[in-house]
Amino acid sequence: MDLAPVPPGKDSPLKSPVIEVEAVDIVSADVQGTVNAENPAKIKEQSSQSEYETDDGVSGDEWESESLYEDALQFIRDEQLRDGMVPDACTLDEALAFRKRLHDIGKAAFVEETIGRNTVTAKKLCTAFGVIPPPFFEGAPDEAYHPLLAIAISREFSRRQKLPQYNTVEDAVKLMKESKNIIVLTGAGISTSLGIPDFRSKDTGLYAKLEHLGLSDPQEVFDIHVFREDPTIFYSIAKDILPTEKKYSPTHGFIRLLQDKGKLLTNYTQNIDNIEANAGIFPEKIVQCHGSFATATCVKCQYKVSGDEIFEDIKKGVVPECVSCKKLIAEEALKPQGMKRKRSSNSVQKDRKDDDGDSDEDDYEIPTPGPDITFFGEDLPDEFGHRLIHHDRERADLVIVIGTSLKVAPVAEVPGVLPRDVPQIYISRTPVSHTGFDIDLLGDCDVVVSELCRRAGWDLKHDMIPSGESVEVESVEGYDSRHVFNVVGA
C-alpha cells in the first residue's frame, strides 16, 4: 500500500512490525462487510473511508469477512492484460483508462459513473485494477464481486501515479545531475555481484536454497520467534549473507559518488551486510532499516558485542555464545552447591522436581548473541520513520530505488509516503507493478548505474567495471519509460 501524505497530528504509519508480503497485497482496512447490490452508494461509502482508520467500531464478523476477501485475492500484471491472457478481462488500454478516470474524479464519483450506471460489470472492472476474482465466485451474481472491487479501487487510488514528464534515460541522467537531495532506497540486488544471494530470485535466491531446512516457509529463517526458539536455523544460513572480504559493488560505489558530490540525502538500506561502510558511506547518511551485522546483542542479558567478535563463528555456521553469560556461569560454578541453580536460556528457572541434583552445567544452554537486525515480527528502529517523515520527506528532490522488489513492509511503503511530485527512478532486473515509478531502468544494477554515470560525465571508478565497457539500452515495447540495459562489449 502506498500511503498518502501523513495528516497533521498523525503518527508515522511506518512504525509497524516488519512483515513479508506481496506488496500488492497490502490492503488498507477500509472495506467492511458485504455490499448491498441494490445500493451502489455502499461501495462509495466503503471505498472512501480513511486508510488510517482503526478497527474501532468494526465487529468481528465484519473483519472476518474482510480477511476472507483479502485472502482470496489473486493478481494480474499489465503484461497479461496486454496479451489477453485472462478471459473476460479488460484490455490494457481499458484498464489504463479506468485507472486514470478513478484518479481524476475520485472514488465515489468513479463508482457512480461505472457500477451505478451499469456501464461495466464489477467482475470485469476488478481486472482493470489488477484483481482476478477467485474461481469460487464463478456463477455468482455481479453484486457478489462488489467487496473485491471496493478493495481493488482502494488499492489503486492509494497508489502513487507516474509523473508523465519523465520517461527517457536522458531524463534520468538530467534528474541525477540537477537534484541536490537524493534518497536512495536499496535492497539485496546491489550486493549480488559480490556473491551474496538475494532472497527471491528463482533457483539462485536464498529462499530457493532453504528447502532442506524443512521449514513450512523459508521466511521463517528470519522470524524472531523461530530465532528465539532455535537460533541454529538462522546461523546455518547467516554465513551466506555476509561478505567474506571488505569489498563493495559498483552500485555501492555509485551511492558513495552521490555522497561525494553532495547529493545524497539518505541511503535507506534493507540490507544487513553492512557493505555500505566498506564503500565509505557516512553513518549519518545511512538508515539501516533492518539493522545489520555490525553489532550483536545477547538474547538474554542484552550484552552487546561488535559483529567482528562473532564473525568467525558465523562464517563456520556455528552458533556464537555470549561471553558475558559464560562468565556468569563460570562464576556460579565456583559457588557452594546449595547456592547454585540451573537455568534455561530463556531465564526461566528449572522446576526443582526436574533437577536430579547433578551439578554438571553442561545442560545449561548458553544464550547466543543475536545480530542487531530486524527480524520479521519486530518493529523497525525509530530512526527509520522519524527521519523519513520529519527530516527527508520535505527535502527530497529525487528518489532512486535500486535492487529491491519492495515486498517487505513497511519499507515497501516508502515511495508512497513521499510527496507525489518528487520524481522516482527504479533500477532492478525486473519491474514492479504495485507503485508507479516514473522511469524503470532494468538490468544488472552495476551495469545500469555505471552507464548512467558515463552519460552524466561522472567518473565512477571501480575494478569491477571493465575498461571500455559498452552498454546497449533498448526501450520496452508498449512502455515509454521502461528501458533495458545490456552489456554488449568491453
Which of 457, 406, 458 shows the shortest CA–CA distance to 433? 406
Distance CA 291, CA 286 (A): 11
- The answer for residues whose C-beta is within 8 angstroms of residue 24's C-beta and 6 or more apart is 75, 130, 155, 433, 434
Which of 306, 268, 270, 266 shows the shortest CA–CA distance to 290? 270
Q: Which residues of 102-127 are buried (b: 16+ CB within 10 A; e: fewer)?
A: beeeebbebbeebbbeeebebbbbbb
Report DSSP letters for 347-406, one per residue. SPBPPGGG--S---GGGS----EEEEE--BTSBPPHHHHHHIIIIITTT-SEEEEES---
Q: Does residue 103 carry a catalytic annotation?
A: no
- The answer for residues whose C-beta is within 8 angstroms of residue 425's C-beta and 6 or more apart is 172, 175, 398, 399, 400, 401, 437, 438, 439, 441
Q: At what angle do helices 107-114 and 146-158 cross, to 10 degrees?
A: 140
Report DSSP letters for 157-168, one per residue. HHSPPPPTT--S
| Residue 90 assigned to a binding site | no
| Residue 453 assigned to a binding site | no
- The answer for residues whose C-beta is within 8 angstroms of residue 393's C-beta and 6 or more apart is 417, 418, 419
Catalytic hit among 103, 212, 225, 290: 290
Q: Give the Cα-Cα-Cα angle 324, 330, 333 (nearest 5 degrees).
A: 145
Report DSSP letters for 89-125, one per residue. PPPHHHHHHHHHHHHHH-HHHHHHHHTTTTSS-HHHH
Amino acid (1-letter code) at residue 472: E
Q: 265, exposed or middle or buried, with CB in 10 Å at 0-12, 13-18, 19+?
A: buried
Distance CA 123, CA 131 (A): 9
Known binding site: residues? 298, 301, 322, 325
Active-site amino acid positions:
290
Known binding site for Zn(2+): residues? 298, 301, 322, 325
